[in-house]
Structure 1
């Protein structure tokens, strides 16, 4: 167990140092949701009426509604950013060196995931603190209850990024693939508008949003912020993580992903 823990701490230390050296990454992760919160929410507030829906017990402003979705946005972009670093590590050869360590491959990749999730959780809490400065406050215990939700949703989105990185051979191909994943997942979810609002436009579009794993990650965060448990969201996010991580392990298997890249 000491060897496993040493590997985990070493990988987390490496990712932390990389994060500290890339301060622009931290600022970019905050500027993006703040623009949505301050600029877009002000314009959408009058256009989108919101009814009383769980977990809210009264009418809320649009800024309050999109806050969990913006936390999910931070984790989504961070998961993709972490996968970008994996593609870079593959090109430089350090990823192959890591995977030759005398430890199970699943533990090494899980350690990479946990390191990335730790960074995204720090970004989310910083964003929630900034949102409080703009007058968007939450129940005090909600800041504590949301931690497990951020951990689980971050693992799921990080596993998705890990899966994507296992399919990309060159760094320059990553941007197009990332945008192809990020924007459909974000806009076809409950991050910006509730599903009943989507159903007013199209039932099939609402159904797409309902099966989107990012929707359930957002709802898991939303309910946790108000000290409530959403079992269906947790189940969906957990299953999505298992599928994404399992496929990523297959992609990084020497008989499949890594060997294929060397020959390519």
Structure 2
């Protein structure tokens, strides 16, 4: 147990130091959602009407609606960015060195996943502080209630990145794979538009968005920011996270790699 906790601490500190030293990564993680909030949301404020739907008790501006989706965007992009660094570590050899430790491989991957989630959550709260300065704030307790939702969403999206990284053998192939994951997950969700708005355009499109795990992560965060519990969103997010973690563990299973080499 002591060795496992020591490994967790070391991996979290390593990822935190890497993130602090990569200032451009922090700036990009913050600027990206702010551009959407200031530019995109302002342009759609008058064009997109929003009805009163839970968790909202009154009419809201589009900027308020989009903030939980942008929190999800930060979790999504950081989960994929962490996967990129994992592919880099594997090519440079540091990942191989880590996986040769006597600790179980599944625990090392979980430690890496938790470290990524910690960084993601800190980025989200930094964004929420800036959004509050911009004039978009939530109930005081909502920021506390959102913490478990952010952790669950961050673990789920980080696990997706881990599962994808296990299939990528060269760093050059990462960008192409990510473009087929990040943008469809983000745009085919409730991050930018309510599901009922999607249904007005296409029932099929609405069903695709409803089946997207990212949608449920966003809705979990949205309800939590208002101190409300969305059991369905939590259930689907946990289920998707369990599936992605299982796929990541299977992808990094050394026995599977040995069988593939023999084949």
Pick the TM interval, shorter chain. Answer: over 0.9
CA spacing shift, 1:47–1:9, aligned 2, 3 Å: same
C-alpha distance in 2 between matches for 1:180 and 1:263: 31
Q: Distance in 1 between matches of 2:151 and 2:92?
A: 29
Q: Distance in 1 between matches of 2:58 and 2:239?
A: 32
Residue equivalent to 1:63: 63
| Cross-structure match for 1:149 | 149
Partner of 2:75: 75
Alignment of 1:1-264 (within 5 A): 1-257=1-257, 260=260
What is the CA distance between 1:99 and its match in structure 2?
1.1
1:164-201 per-residue CA deviation (whole Å, 9 max, x = no partner) reads 10000000000010111000000000000000000000
- Structure 1 residue 106: deviation in Å? 1.3
Q: Whole-Å Cα distance in 2 between the matches of residues 257 and 176 of structure 1?
A: 23
Aligned equivalents of 2:133 and 2:245: distance in 1?
37
Size of the aligned set, in residue pairs, is 263
Report the TM-score when normalising by structure 2: 0.98
Deviation at 1:246, TM superposition (A): 0.2
Alpha-carbon shift at residue 129 of structure 1 (Å): 0.3
Residue 46 of structure 1 aligns to a residue whose secondary structure is: coil
- CA contact 1:166–1:257 (8 Å) conserved in 2: no
Alpha-carbon distance change, 257 to 229 in structure 1, aligned in 2, over 3 angstroms: farther
CA contact (8 A) 1:251 1:258 kept: no
Give the drift of 1:108: 0.6
The CA deviation at 1:259 is 7.3
Separation of aligned partners in 2, 1:259 and 1:30? 43
SS at match of 2:88: helix
Q: Is the 8 A contact 1:250 1:257 kept in 2?
A: no
Q: 1:120 to 1:257 in 2, by over 3 A?
A: farther
How many Å separate the matches in 2 of 1:258 and 1:56?
53
Q: Measured at CA, do residues 204 and 176 of structure 1 come closer, stay the same or move farther in structure 2, by a change above 3 Å? A: same
Task: Note the residue ranges of structure 2 that are not aligned, 5 or more in a row.
Answer: none
Contact preservation (8 Å) 1:80, 1:158: yes
What's the RMSD between the two structures over aligned residues? 1.3
User: 1: distance between equivalents of 2:164 and 2:209?
Assistant: 21
